[in-house]
Copies of this chain bind each other. A is one copy, B any other.
Amino acid sequence: MTAESLPVPGDEDYLAEMHLHIGARLARQEHRYTSGRRQLVEVLAQANQPMTLPDIVAADPDLAQSSAYRNLDVLVRSGVIRRLSAGGDHTHFELAEPLLGHHHHLICIRCGSIEDIHLGSDVEILVDQSLSDIASQTGFTPIHHSLDLHGHCADC
């Protein structure tokens, strides 16, 4: 068990191992993995979709709003959490791709809900190559792509 092996969703030790990874990553940046930060990670790990700050606080009312925002920011900058701008009133947060795996989103333009989806590797490869080609022509340095489907969810 090295600090670089990835936890596998479904594994019984998923949460425990994930906390070890995250704690180590934060320690490298002189940050502490405090209970508030652990609570944020657990809330996001238990949800199966990106959450807004109100969602997160509702899921764990012990969390103070200002601390939650501040800690989400720390975790985003540490690469543990990813921030999504979907156009609704609130920013959404989810675990970063090293933890959740690369994926994309269904975004409901009526209610603002977001659901994770996974595309086939053939699509991912073609998309990544096409984008890299274009980026290199313009001097743009790619970091990651986002691919979302906007529409109406089943409930709307």
Write the residues of chain A forming the contact surface with B, with a CB cutoff of 8 angstroms: 83, 85-87, 106, 108-109, 115, 117, 119-120, 122-123, 126-127, 130-131, 134-135, 138-154
Contacts and interface: CB of A to CB of B under 8 A. Distances in A.
A73 B154 CA distance: 26
Contacts of A120: 130
Nearest to A128: B149
24 contacts: A83-B87, A106-B140, A115-B138, A115-B140, A117-B131, A117-B138, A119-B130, A119-B131, A119-B134, A120-B130, A122-B126, A123-B126, A126-B126, A134-B149, A135-B149, A135-B151, A140-B152, A140-B154, A141-B151, A141-B152, A143-B152, A145-B149, A146-B146, A147-B147
A141 B141 CA distance: 34
A150 B143 contact: yes
Nearest to A105: B146
